[in-house]
Structure 1
Amino acid sequence: MGIRFENVGIAVRDLDEAISFFTDLGLTVVGRDTVSGDWADTAVGLDGNHARIAMLQTPEGDGRLELFEYLHPDAIETEPTLPHETGMHRVAFSVDDIDEALAIAATHGCHPLRGVATYEDVYKLTYLRGPSGILVMLAQALKND
């Protein structure tokens, strides 16, 4: 049996805001749609499932993020995930310039949870809260010359 990673799906409170955040960081929207109907109810396990969706892709095309905003049933607000909680944790991106990425995130009101750390002279990295409280990790590889 073959298997291939497809995407990570994240429910957001405002699809356009989330798209703006992730496209400013460098992802590209590869499709948008509104989904509903029996097939969507069956696949997702929700009666009356109706959502606006967008598929975004990283520049190299290997990573995809599916964002969805529920129109029905009403989205349920939850407390933002904490870094040590079990379950869906965070979405992570490698960036060429973490300072530039953080400046872009700041234009969306998103800032590091604590600061930028250096891991064994290999990465500079940080966690921040993106749109709808999504935990986002940004990491810049440090080049050893």
Structure 2
Amino acid sequence: MGGVRFDHVGVVVDDLELVTAFFVDLGFERSNPMRIEGEWVDRVIGLDGVQLDMVSVNAPDGSGRLELTKFHRPTDPAATQGPLANRLGFRHIAYVVDDLDGVVERLRGKGLDTVGDIVDYEDIYRLCYIGGPEGLIVELAEQIGGGSDQAP
């Protein structure tokens, strides 16, 4: 038997409250924070002495969630990287909104901005990348015409 369903994506962050607020501003629903530590988590993720706080932010339609995680122990010695769309690994998530311009305007009011331009894709979607805190990128897509119900 194969997989059953997609469940979540884990995102490691430095400022848990700032990043959580960013996703809440996009319309995600926040869960209560959890403190996680102990031998079981050390064994699962292959690190010793783990202590972390985690908040789930859930898509309002129930289609998925992000687990936002702040490690108190051990910490990552590497510096935070900037939001480059061609960096190897998972680079962005896509989020469908019903008023892209309104969402972008609201986020600009909070000091955030697009990575590039807002563009129309084949009269089907209005798209942009938003540069979030800590180098996170969220693709925003507003369906403006017929076609696939999946953003490009």
Check whether TM > 0.5. Answer: yes
Structure 1 residue 107, shift from structure 2 partner = 3.2
* 1:137 and 2:139 correspond: yes
Aligned equivalent of 1:33: 34
**Segments of 4+ moved more than 4 angstroms:** none
Structure 2: gaps of 5 or more residues: 147-152
- Counterpart amino acid of residue 113 in structure 1: V
- In the superposition, the TM-score normalised over structure 1's length comes to 0.91
- Map of 2:25 onto structure 1: 24
CA RMSD of aligned residues (A): 1.5
Q: Structure 2 matches for 1:84-99, cutoff 5 A?
A: 84-99=86-101
* SS of residue matched to 2:31: strand
C-alpha distance in structure 2 between counterparts of 1:140 and 1:122, whole Å: 8
The answer to whether 1:50 aligns with 2:51 is: yes
The count of aligned residue pairs is 144
Whether contact under 8 Å (2:36, 2:52) holds in the other structure is yes
* Structure 1: gaps of 5 or more residues: none
Match of 1:120 in 2: 122
Maintained 8 Å contact 1:25/1:104:
no
State the identity %.
35
Distance 1:82 1:22, change over 3 A: same
Cα offset for 1:80? 2.6
